[in-house]
Amino acid sequence: MEVPASSPQNTPPSAPPMQAQEDQLIAESGARSIRLLSHRQLVLMRFRKNRLALIGLATLILLYLMAIFCEFIAPYDPNRRFQGNVHAPPTRLHLRTPEGAWSMPFFYRVERKTDPSTFERVYAEDTRQRYSLRLFVRGDPYEMWGLIPLDVHLFGSSDPSVPLFLMGADAMGRDLLSRIVYGSRISLSIGLVGVCTSLLIGLILGGVSGYYGGMVDDIVQRLIELIRSIPTVPLWMGLAAALPPSWPQLRVYLGITIILSFVGWTTLARVIRGKFLALREEDYVLAALQAGAQPFFVIREHLLPSFMSYILVHLTLAIPGMIIGETGLSFLGLGLVAPTISWGVLLKDAQKVQEVALHPWILIPAIFVLITVMAFNFFGDGLRDAADPYSQRT
């Protein structure tokens, strides 16, 4: 963005030339110091103007808060089965009493009946007794982050014997909302971990490739081309199928992350290499090398800082791909499997259309994935536009 140089048009032409020159100098140095000081502020300013990006960021903050405090936010233990509530539909919250008065959110007990003529399941609200949604209720005990034993949940039913299923229940009578909230911890973290792994590989290979050039560069480039020419999903599937079923879940989680990074690093490595190639020629790098600095020192001290924002943008835009990858693999049963909870694992229940037709709410995890992906894209795009005003919005 151009900082408007203060135009000297106001300077009266009759003013002594010395004065005019001085004015000019002051105006120029002023403009320069603005430029120096405010690169970060400029980026922030531009970012703040982008409403979609702000919405994306806010959504992401909410989602990640949910993942961090999932034990507290989920109303129930995600593995608790509610007898007689298999595939219970989402509980309807009411804000008005039958008499038409406004009220705090409340709900009715839902009774399941079978229609005697069509044999279809029907659900009816039992309006005799109202139950309310309460904040900070005591419920299933849990250990916050596996450390602090607690039993307070953000919200819950006023009567522990009448459960509240805001997003329905699954085939085993478990509260879907609680499972989604717990699932976010894995689904959202796998993107971050995967991107960090990719970044590490990408930094090493891309950096080395861009820094040394020549043979090394050629080899790395061919490797990238090779990996990118294989359709990702079949490759992921092939690799994921090779994970031994006997592995504990944590190791599977790491395995999946590595598989996702196996493809993910290539993009980052390209980006990094390109930047390195451009920066290698910069005078100050040459000067540092000439002065006897170690190559690694040069990379860390001079090259890295100059493209942090650039990398940040690409990282943000790479995360949704990772999340989709995990969801897809787990959805197929090739990634994480129950009893681990991730959005993909939850969606596995939705593989059959007939199931979805009967209990459409089992698709809700998909909506969470879609929202997350869009939020990341909006945020990343906004970041890119803000960081580089000359980049095209493509």
Partner 1 sequence: MRTFVLKRILQAIPILFGISIIAFAIIQLPPGDYLTTYVNNLRSQGDVISDEQVKALEEQYGLNQPLYLQYWKWITNFVRGEMGQSFYWNKPVRSLIGERIALSMLVSLFALVLTYAIAIPIGLISATRQYSFADNLFTVLAFIGVGLPSFLVALVLMYFGNRYLGLSAGGLFSIEYMDAPWSLGRVLDLLKHMILPALIIGISGTAGTIRVMRATTLDELSRPYVEAARARGLREMVAVLRYPVRVALNPIMSTIGWQLPALVSGETLVSMVLGLPTCGPLLYTALITQDMYLAASFIMILSTLTVAGTLLSDILLAWIDPRIRFGGIQ
Partner 2 sequence: MKSRFTQGSNDMPNNNILIEVKELRTYFYLTEGVVRAVDGVSFSLERGRTLGVVGESGCGKSVTARSIMNMVRKPGRTVGGEVLYHRRNGDDTTEEIIDLLKLEPMGDEMRAIRGGEFAMIFQEPRASLSPVHTIGTQIVEAIRLHRPMTKAQAREHGIEMLRRVKIPRPEQIIDAYPHQLSGGMCQRAMIALALACQPALLIADEPTTALDVTTEAQILELMRELQATFETSIMYITHNLAVVAEIARDVMVMYMGKDVEFAPVDAIFHEPKHPYTIALLSSIPRIDVERDMLATMAGTVPDPYALPKGCPFHPRCPSRLPVCSQDIEVPYVFFDKGHRVRCHLYTAK
Q: Using CB under 8 A as the criterion, which residues of the chain lie in contact with partner 1 when the complex forms?
A: 52, 222-223, 225-226, 228-235, 237-242, 244, 320-321, 324, 327-328, 331-334, 347, 350-351, 353, 356-357, 360, 363, 366-367, 369-370, 373-374, 377-378, 381, 392-394
d(CA 259, CA 25): 58
CB 253 within 8 A of CB 187: no
Q: What is the dihedral of CA 67, 70, 74, 77, to 10 degrees?
A: 130
Which one of partner 1, partner 2, none interacts with residue 20, CB within 5 to 8 A by kind?
partner 2
Question: Which distant-in-sequence residues (6+ apart) come within 8 Å of 298 by Cβ?
Answer: 285, 288, 289
CB 183 within 8 A of CB 365: yes
- The residue (of 229 and 290) whose beta carbon lies closer to partner 1 is 229
Q: Which of 2, 3, 6, 11 binds partner 2 (CB under 8 A)?
A: 11
Q: Which amino acid is at 317?
A: L
Beta carbon of residue 382, minimum distance to partner 1 (angstroms, whole number): 11
Q: Which is nearer to partner 2, 8 or 141 (CB)?
A: 8
SS3 content of the chain, % helix, strand, coil (to 5): 60, 15, 25
Q: Judged by CB, which is closer to partner 1: 39, or 49?
A: 49
The answer to the question of residue 389 lying near partner 2 (CB under 8 A) is: no
Least distance from C-beta 202 to partner 2, angstroms? 34
- Show Cβ contacts of residue 221 under 8 Å, excluding neighbours closer than 6 positions: 209
Q: Which stretch binds partner 2 (CB under 8 A): 1-9, 226-234, 365-373, 380-388?
A: 1-9
CB 100 within 8 A of CB 125: no
Query: For residue 240, how many other CB atoms are within 10 A of its CB?
Result: 23
Q: Which of 1, 6, 7, 127 binds partner 2 (CB under 8 A)?
A: 7
Per-residue CA distances from 249 to 224, 257, 325, 362, 374 (Å): 30, 12, 17, 23, 28
Judged by beta carbon, residue 27 or residue 371, the one nearer partner 2 is 27
CA–CA separation, 196 vs 134, rounded Å?
40
Stretch that binds partner 2, among 2-10, 73-81, 165-173, 280-288 (CB under 8 A): 2-10
Minimum distance between the CB of residue 279 and partner 2, rounded to whole angstroms?
29
Say whether residue 6 binds partner 2 (CB under 8 A): no
Smallest distance from the beta carbon of 91 to partner 1, in angstroms?
21
User: Does residue 16 bind partner 2 (CB under 8 A)?
Assistant: no
Nearer to partner 1, 83 or 392 (CB): 392
Whole-angstrom Cα distance, residue 26 to residue 74?
60
How many residues bind partner 2, per CB under 8 A?
Answer: 6
Please state, in angstroms and rounded to a whole number, the distance separating the CA atoms of residues 209 and 220. Answer: 6
245 binds partner 2 (CB under 8 A): no
Using CA atoms, how far apart are residues 352 and 331, in angstroms rounded to an integer?
11
Other residues' Cβ atoms within 10 Å of the Cβ of residue 184? 26
Give residue for tokens 């930047």.
Answer: 275
- Alpha-carbon distance of 389 to 3, in angstroms, equals 13
Query: Whole-angstrom Cα distance, residue 143 to residue 150?
Result: 6
Please identify, using beta-carbon distances, which residue of 142 and 379 lies nearer to partner 1.
379
Q: Is 20 in the site for partner 2 (CB under 8 A)?
A: yes
Q: Which does 7 bind (CB under 5 to 8 A by kind): partner 1, partner 2, none?
A: partner 2
Binding site partner of 353, from partner 2, partner 1, none, Cβ cut-off 5-8 A by kind: partner 1
Query: Given the complex with partner 2, which of 23 and 388 has the nearer CB atom?
Result: 23
x-marked contacts with partner 2 along 195-234 as a string, rule CB under 8 A: ----------------------------------------
Stretch that binds partner 2, among 6-14, 190-198, 313-321, 339-347 (CB under 8 A): 6-14
Residue 83 binds partner 2, judged by CB under 8 A: no
Q: Which residues bind partner 2 (CB under 8 A)?
A: 7-9, 11, 13, 20
